[in-house]
Copies of this chain bind each other. A is one copy, B any other.
Amino acid sequence: MELIRVATVHSQLTDLAAAPKQGDEGAPEATLVFEPGFVTALDGIEPGDDLLVLTWLDRASRDVLRVRPRDDVARREHGVFATRSPDRPNPIGVHRVTVLAVDGANVRVRDLEALDATPVVDVKPVLRTVEER
């Protein structure tokens, strides 16, 4: 189960401490820059689309199994699977973003809280209701 990089996050966010906890808590716009071989796999993605972006959180700790949610010492410890902590056995980030523009290999999005240079491993549409499919 070996992941390959399909794109890379280009973002002003470079500091883990300054990053928002979630994309809708003040993340800047960011650009996903796709590897040349995967540009054909973007066909059909358009401005306004809501996407799930899956990233590899390469600065996370993989041996953490319990955390306090949102680093709040007043809250009791939880297992990482009950939280969205980046520290977890497989540090895959799931980010819901909205597409602003598509220009060749570059997809501009808003609400992405991932740090600059984070590898992107997958992109898929947000699942709509059965009626909309």
Taking CB atoms, residues of chain B closer than 8 Å to A59 are none
Contact with B along A119-133 (1 / 0, CB 8 A): 101111101001001
**Would you call A42 an interface residue if the criterion is a C-beta within 8 Å of the partner chain's C-beta atoms?**
yes
A38 to B5, CA, bound (A): 27
CB-contact partner of A6 in B24, B89, B123, under 8 A: B89
Contact B89 A4 (CB under 8 A): yes
The smallest beta-carbon distance between A67 and chain B, in angstroms, is 10
Taking CB atoms, residues of chain B closer than 8 Å to A90 are 3-4, 6, 54, 121-122
| Interface size, chain A (Cβ < 8 Å) | 47
CB-contact partner of A127 in B41, B96, B119, under 8 A: B96
**Would you call A88 an interface residue if the criterion is a C-beta within 8 Å of the partner chain's C-beta atoms?**
yes
Q: How many copies does the complex hold?
A: 2
Taking CB atoms, residues of chain B closer than 8 Å to A25 are 130
Taking CB atoms, residues of chain B closer than 8 Å to A88 are 41, 122, 124
CB-contact partner of A41 in B2, B66, B122, under 8 A: B66
The smallest beta-carbon distance between A68 and chain B, in angstroms, is 11
Nearest 7 CB-CB pairings of A with B: A44-B82, A44-B78, A1-B3, A43-B79, A41-B79, A81-B123, A41-B65
* CB pairs A–B below 8 angstroms (7 shown): A1-B2, A3-B90, A41-B66, A41-B80, A45-B82, A83-B124, A96-B127
